[in-house]
Amino acid sequence: MEEFLTAHFWLAVGQIIMIDILLGGDNAVVIALACRQLPPNLRIKGILWGTAGAIVLRVILIAFALTLLQIPYLKIVGAALLLWIGVKLLAPQDEDEHSNIQASDKLWAAVKTVIVADLVMSIDNVIAIAGAATGAGGQHQLPLVIFGLLVSIPIIIWGSQLVLKLMDRFPLIIAVGGMLLGWIAGTMAHSDPAVQGLIPQSGAWNYSMGAAGALFVFLIGALLKRRGQPEQ
């Protein structure tokens, strides 16, 4: 119980919530698209059941990821993926990821669409949240994940439009989010069992690798974003 009162626990909760807002904002779009043809009296049920199914599936995936991350070298692989996700967040692509989401006028068909689409689109989210949870340490990583998801899901569903407007108005939020993913990548790689005998496992090294990951994402993301801008 004492572990739930530590700064590490609440820092990880904050990281999970921010990750879900930044990487899970598409969930609201997926739900809206999948349920748009439902009769008005079934839309609330479609949203609630689809969201519940997506949450359960995501918890299972994260539990699986937490187990896999105990295998040597997999945290390094996960860290590399997180760096790529962070860079991609700062230099977003133009593709419309939602063009193939089909709406349905049947409740369970819409629920299935929400769950399947969330599964396909949540890999980056799962890796990032698993990394944040492992950074908290201790034996309560899965409860931490569940708590963070339960807090952030309502924010995503009912506050997604506000969050998107804030991101448009204050691009710094996206930059900070991308750097957070870089930080998690650095600290995740530092805690990989394969490097524990090669790199000192001190707090200073942990923070240094986190800072290096955040700086890497910021610099590469800014470079790619600048290259993608049309010349004046």
Nearby residues of 193 by Cβ (< 8 Å), 6 or more positions away: 70, 71, 72, 75
pLDDT in tens for each of the 232 residues of the chain?
A: 555 566 777 777 788 877 777 776 666 666 766 777 788 788 778 877 877 887 788 888 888 888 887 788 888 888 888 888 888 878 755 545 555 555 666 778 877 877 777 666 677 778 888 888 876 665 667 777 887 777 777 766 665 556 667 777 887 888 888 888 889 888 888 888 888 778 887 878 888 999 999 999 999 988 887 876 655 4
- CA 71 vs CA 65, 66, 82, 189, 191: distances in Å: 10, 10, 17, 12, 11
Structural domain includes residue 28: yes
Other beta carbons less than 10 A from residue 87's beta carbon = 22
Structural domain includes residue 232: no
Q: How many whole angstroms separate alpha carbon 136 and alpha carbon 89?
A: 24
Would you say 185 and 134 are in contact if contact means Cβ atoms under 8 Å apart? Answer: no
- Note down the domain range covering 189: 2-226
Structural domain includes residue 60: yes
Our count of domains for the chain comes to: 1
Structural domain includes residue 208: yes
pTM: 0.72
